Amino acid sequence: MNKCIQHSTCYQFADDTCLLIADKDPELAIGRLQSDLNSLARWCHDSGLVLNANKTKLLVIKSPYITLTSFKKKLVAHDHNCLHSSNCKTCQCPFIETVDRHMYLGVLMDSKFNWSLHIEYVCSNLRQFLANMKILSRRIPFKTKLMLYNTLAESYIQYGLLCYGRTFKTYVSRIYELQLKIIKTIVSTNVKPQYTHDEKGLFKHCKIMNIYSLIKYTLLKHYYFNTSVKSVIKHPIYTRAIAQNQLFQPSANNAYGERTANYIIPRLINNLPTDLIEKITPSNYKFKLKTIFLTNQ
């Protein structure tokens, strides 16, 4: 399939296929996407498959100042017979529906790409878990409730966190508030008063990372040994940063730049204790990072 795709980047998981293309000119991007979609339709026919036009969606990720009505071109799902006829431009093949949001592999994406919809989706699952936990809180022991949290609630949070975790803190704070409510439901009534004014202590008592620490841990777990986002400081003056082998921290001109791995990862690594960095190896880095973020939340 990849050989027939000329302009787009193709991502596949099982029978789900995603074509991704970017261009400053949206009309040009849709034209190239149409060409790749036609090639994909031919490939599907040759392979004994059928492209389901009703389930195929077009999501345009764009500036909020650009309206979809400004796009003159529409994406068309041509069938095999149409592609081999001379009147393809005047055919009655269905248009691909343009949507402003779409759930792809369990991640809800929208045209603004700010992850607010996906975070609300995560929060709705956490609210449902919280309601069930309130019913069960007096009937099951602490360890069982903790196991349920790690199995259900944290799995909701962790899925796709590498992507949506870099969004606005005001969005992420919604998850933190629900996390806190769930943990207060998990702990016993005689433990809760000890942490009335100590939210961090409550997370440490349950050995649970709050969403902010979980984001940092997830990013470092994925990028720690990625040399493309790491470069050591080099200049002729021997400074404390050079003595501690700190990484170069690039600057950013806008909010987007501050969410890139090149900007975030060096700062996260430089904030780690020096003695911890010296002990980290490919075999123990997950355990070491998890320990430090559980301890220092």
Last residue of a domain, one of 49, 80, 110: 110
The verdict on residue 53 lying in a domain is yes
> Given phi > 0 = left and psi -120 to 50 = alpha, else beta, which region is 247?
beta
- Please give the Cα distance from 117 to 102 (Å, whole number): 10
Confidence of residue 293 (pLDDT cuts 50, 70, 90): very high
**235-284 pLDDT, tens digit each:** 666 666 555 667 888 888 888 888 999 999 999 999 998 888 888 899 99
Last residue of a domain, one of 179, 207, 235: 207
The verdict on residue 3 lying in a domain is no
Residues 155 and 104 in one domain: no
215-223 average pLDDT score:
95
> Given phi > 0 = left and psi -120 to 50 = alpha, else beta, which region is 207?
left
- Predicted local confidence at residue 73, as pLDDT: 72
Residues 105 and 153 in one domain: no
- Predicted local confidence at residue 162, as pLDDT: 93
**23-62 pLDDT, tens digit each:** 888 888 888 998 888 888 888 888 888 888 888 999 988 8
| Window from 11-20, 44-53, 62-71, 120-129 with minimum mean pLDDT | 62-71
The two three-digit tokens of residue 127, written as one number:
């609210």
The verdict on residue 2 lying in a domain is no
Short-list 9, 51, 8, 12, CA closest to 29 = 8
The pLDDT mean for the chain works out to 87
| Window from 1-10, 61-70, 94-103, 262-271 with minimum mean pLDDT | 61-70
- Predicted local confidence at residue 70, as pLDDT: 60
- Predicted local confidence at residue 194, as pLDDT: 87
210-235 average pLDDT score:
89
Number of domains making up the chain: 3
Structural domain that includes position 291: 220-295
- Predicted local confidence at residue 185, as pLDDT: 92
Residues 195 and 234 in one domain: no
- Please give the Cα distance from 78 to 53 (Å, whole number): 9
Tell me, letter by letter, the H, E, C secondary structure of the chain.
CCCCCCCCEEEEECCEEEEECCCCCHHHHHHHHHHHHHHHHHHHHHCCCCCCCCCCEEECCCCCCCCHHHCCCCCECCCHHHHCCCCHHHCCCCECEEECEEEECCEEEECCCCCHHHHHHHHHHHHHHHHHHHHHCCCCCHHHHHHHHHHHHHHHHHCCHHHHCCCCHHHHHHHHHHHHHHHHHHCCCCCHHHHCCCHHHHHHHHCCCCHHHHHHHHHHHHHCCCHHHCCECCCCCCCHHHHCCCECCCCCCCCCHHHCHHHHHHHHHHCCCHHHHHHCCCCCHHHHHHHHHHHCC
Residues 53 and 145 in one domain: no
Confidence of residue 90 (pLDDT cuts 50, 70, 90): low
- Please give the Cα distance from 78 to 104 (Å, whole number): 23
pTM of the complete model: 0.84
Percent of the chain with pLDDT over 90: 41
- Predicted local confidence at residue 69, as pLDDT: 62
Last residue of a domain, one of 70, 92, 110: 110
The verdict on residue 4 lying in a domain is no
Neighbours of 27 (CB within 10 A): 12
The verdict on residue 212 lying in a domain is no
160-188 average pLDDT score:
94
Q: Is the dihedral of CA 107, 109, 114, 120 positive or negative?
A: negative
- Predicted local confidence at residue 167, as pLDDT: 92
Q: Which residue has the higher pLDDT, 72 or 280?
A: 280
Residues 244 and 194 in one domain: no
The verdict on residue 120 lying in a domain is yes
